[in-house]
Structure 1
């Protein structure tokens, strides 16, 4: 559980240690959400 947004770097570090690519991490941390919103809004 995250206490606040300051802990997001810990998530990134953990994902990198587990072998996720930087591109996958960007998607996990929000690029997918932004893409869907752009498609919905136009």
Structure 2
């Protein structure tokens, strides 16, 4: 669904950016956990 064009709220942009950073960090951690699990299984 299209996002309605509104003047950008700097606070909203900051929240979105912080959320994106958090999601990125979580996905990195998830990848590391999956890799270490694979190594345990392979050993």
Do they superpose with TM above 0.5? no
Max Rg structure? 2
Q: Which one scores higher on RCO, CA 8 angstroms, separation ≥ 6?
A: 1
